[in-house]
Structure 1
Amino acid sequence: MLLRSIALLLLAGLGAAAHAAAPGGAQLYARNCASCHGVKGDGGIGVPLALPSFQAGISDDYLRQTIRHGRPGRVMPAFPSLGAEEVEAIVRHVRSWNKGPAVAYSPASIVGDPVHGKQLFGKYCVACHGANGEGAKGTGVTFSRPRDLPIMAPALHNPGFLAAAPDAMIKATLMNGREGTPMQSYLKLGLKEKDIDDLVSYVRSFETQPLGSSAAMVEAETPVIIRESPYDLNTTVERVKTAVTTHNFFYGRVQTLEYGMTPPASENPKQVIVYFCNISLLNQALAIDPRVGMFLPCRVSIFEKNGKVQVMSVNPKVLSRLFNNSELNQLCEQLEQSYTAIMEEATL
């Protein structure tokens, strides 16, 4: 009996220790959310979660659904790997910035006239939310823009938003606006409650309409582009440098793959990286999503092994999916074509 009691106490102690070691909401938020939403919820690439009008207008369930499903094709990713308790911990942490009572919304549908709602949407909403509800362009952050400015208008024609936001929440936002952002109260703009019901009905109709190309993600056929070279490594490097300039990039530098990670004498000279750049494309990419900077400048790797030389690079199309930002689609397709042309020309 004594041994059994000791065993139970040990198990209880281990359970308590494991519980204490589990990350809390603040840690989970810092790890998964702060880089976009700000350490204190002041926003940036993501919504300013601590904004009082945002806190007053959204429910806990809206936060849960948004964390779980994200916004496909936009910057907000889904977090399917987080457990239910972890999601709840993040929700509680975000709610710690709330100065007022939590709001809950009825899941009931609002009946309105979507045809009239579409007309109103064209008059009052498209300037910020886009002609098809695809949301504002870009991330809302540039190198000259403070992170604490209001967010870009969200995508309403988005399965993640439509799954998270009940009709009653959309209606409340339209009626009350969102102080501290460009979103105004539509009642103050002169609309009647019936008009707002019609707008809600039109927004809800997006669920039955196919997403426009702006929200569709580009699929990369392969995450890596690879070409075999018939030349030795040094000749291949020179041919890549020439091809880079032919395709309107300027050559930057060549360095070994291990540069800076091992003493120079230990670097493998048969594994090198060629860096190059196009300033115009660079500025376009950073204007759309500053996180692209992690993959800049452009580069291709050249490896020689067992007498064979390969030229390879990350497929730029991967970036739009990696960053969950469909606005990168067109630019990434253009870059993929340029990378492929450079590598093929160098290995002809």
Structure 2
Amino acid sequence: MAMPATVAWACPCGCRPSRTVSSDAYLKQTIRLGRPGRVMPRFDHLSAAEVEAIVEHIRGWHDGDRPVFSQARIEGDVQRGARLFSQHCAQCHGEQGEGGQGTGVTFSRPRDLPIIAPALNNPGFLAAASDAMIKATLMQGREGTPMASFREQGLSEEQINDLVAYVRSFEGEHTDPAPRVEEIEPTLVYDSPYGLEETVEAVERAAVGKNFRLIRRQKLEEGLFPEGEENDRQVIVYFCNFNFLYDALTVDPRVGLFLPCRVTVVEQEGQVRVMTINPKRLSVLFNNERLDQACDEMHRIYTDILEEATF
């Protein structure tokens, strides 16, 4: 498939360049379900009226008819479709329909294509897009993107049906639903048997032991109250592993909102507690499956540091 020289933009829900093949039902389902693991979050907390308002706003960007697609399944040969997919689609969408590398958050990061090809094996996409809509996309292409019309590329309607059947076959690969943000504790909290100063020093030693560089120690309320009036029984320890930081920012620059790494030590009513954010919650919040591994590793590191500091 020929790639244009210019960089094109594509909304995660496919609304702008694909307006002739995006139904209202598809847009609504996309808003509701999102794209698990692909940055586009689910907005299942919105009311029906709010979702309708968003769709109407999107439709206001362009004039034209609103397509309505049948929900019936299209019959095709999955094996032939797999071969056609490898030949015509895998270059952009990945060998297993996993989508282009990168998440589309910013154009400033390295990526394998000038536009992020959507993940066709994504459960959100497969639930939102009917077979008829997928077929219409293959037949017509997507204006303003590298996605050309497969009819113009020389494929027959039967071959396009085979491709649709193969894309639909990805549906059986998903079993476990993605966790919800509210199902995961936002913080990791440990009680310390030591005093505040001793606990802070233990946190610093544990962080250094995990190959982190100490950045600074400061009072939690620093900058919020006049100097000298801050609560000196609440302390933040900042530390960083710059290689880990760089790798995480390359995957998703939004991680920068929560960096550098930090642990807070608080003494209240004689009890010292050590706490930090829970990276597993960030993993779900960011909705970026490529970041999951880094978040899991950071959760392990934070847990080790907190346990060692309070042992």
What interval of TM-score do these two structures reach, taking the shorter chain for normalisation? 0.7 to 0.9
C-alpha displacement at 1:226, in angstroms?
2.3
Q: 1:157 aligns with which of 121, 130, 152?
A: 121
Tell me which residue corresponds to 2:131. Answer: 167
Q: Residues of 2 paired with 1:236 and 1:318: CA distance? A: 25
2:280 equivalent to 1:302: no
Q: Residues of 1 paired with 2:115 and 2:41: CA distance? A: 17
Q: 2:47 aligns with which of 66, 83, 86?
A: 83
Equivalenced residues, count:
301
Which AA in structure 2 matches 1:239?
A
The change in CA–CA distance for 1:91 and 1:216 in structure 2 (over 3 A counts) is closer
Which AA in structure 2 matches 1:97?
W
**Does the 8 Å CA contact 1:258/1:267 hold for their aligned counterparts?**
yes
C-alpha displacement at 1:222, in angstroms?
4.4
The change in CA–CA distance for 1:67 and 1:117 in structure 2 (over 3 A counts) is same
Report SS of the residue matched to 2:65.
coil
The change in CA–CA distance for 1:211 and 1:175 in structure 2 (over 3 A counts) is farther
**Does the 8 Å CA contact 1:74/1:326 hold for their aligned counterparts?**
yes
Tell me which residue corresponds to 1:318. Answer: 281
Tell me which residue corresponds to 2:241. Answer: 278
2:205 equivalent to 1:258: no
Q: Residues of 2 paired with 1:216 and 1:279: CA distance? A: 30
**Does the 8 Å CA contact 2:39/2:103 hold for their aligned counterparts?**
yes
Larger of the two Rg values belongs to structure = 1
Tell me which residue corresponds to 1:139. Answer: 103
Tell me which residue corresponds to 2:34. Answer: 70
Q: Residues of 2 paired with 1:260 and 1:320: CA distance? A: 29
Tell me which residue corresponds to 1:247. Answer: 210
C-alpha displacement at 1:118, in angstroms?
1.4
Q: 1:233 aligns with which of 188, 196, 208?
A: 196
Q: Residues of 1 paired with 2:118 and 2:97: CA distance? A: 8
C-alpha displacement at 1:223, in angstroms?
3.7
2:125 equivalent to 1:188: no
Q: Residues of 2 paired with 1:48 and 1:117: CA distance? A: 24
Report SS of the residue matched to 1:72.
coil
- Per-residue deviation, residues 270-300 of structure 1 (Å, max 9, x unmatched): 1111111122222222222222222111111
Tell me which residue corresponds to 1:207. Answer: 171
Which AA in structure 2 matches 1:266?
E
Structure 1 portions without partners, runs of 5+: 1-41
**Does the 8 Å CA contact 1:218/1:320 hold for their aligned counterparts?**
no
Q: 1:125 aligns with which of 89, 92, 96?
A: 89
Q: Residues of 1 paired with 2:102 and 2:179: CA distance? A: 15
C-alpha displacement at 1:200, in angstroms?
0.1
2:12 equivalent to 1:47: yes
The change in CA–CA distance for 1:155 and 1:50 in structure 2 (over 3 A counts) is closer
Tell me which residue corresponds to 2:22. Answer: 58
Q: Residues of 1 paired with 2:242 and 2:21: CA distance? A: 42
Q: Residues of 1 paired with 2:189 and 2:98: CA distance? A: 35
The structure carrying a bigger helix percent of its residues is 1
**Does the 8 Å CA contact 2:13/2:31 hold for their aligned counterparts?**
no
Which stretch shows the higher mean deviation, 222-231 or 163-172? 222-231
Report SS of the residue matched to 1:300.
strand
Q: Residues of 2 paired with 1:253 and 1:88: CA distance? A: 49
Q: 1:327 aligns with which of 290, 300, 307?
A: 290
Q: Residues of 2 paired with 1:111 and 1:96: CA distance? A: 35
Identity of aligned residues (%): 55
**Does the 8 Å CA contact 2:109/2:250 hold for their aligned counterparts?**
no
Q: Residues of 2 paired with 1:145 and 1:307: CA distance? A: 48
Q: How much is the aligned-residue C-alpha RMSD, in angstroms?
A: 2.7
Tell me which residue corresponds to 1:347. Answer: 310
Which AA in structure 2 matches 1:343?
L
Tell me which residue corresponds to 1:109. Answer: 73
The change in CA–CA distance for 1:143 and 1:326 in structure 2 (over 3 A counts) is same
The change in CA–CA distance for 1:61 and 1:150 in structure 2 (over 3 A counts) is farther
Tell me which residue corresponds to 1:93. Answer: 57
C-alpha displacement at 1:79, in angstroms?
1.2
C-alpha displacement at 1:332, in angstroms?
0.8
The change in CA–CA distance for 1:307 and 1:231 in structure 2 (over 3 A counts) is same
C-alpha displacement at 1:258, in angstroms?
1.7
Which AA in structure 1 matches 2:160?
I
C-alpha displacement at 1:48, in angstroms?
8.2
Q: Residues of 2 paired with 1:159 and 1:139: CA distance? A: 16
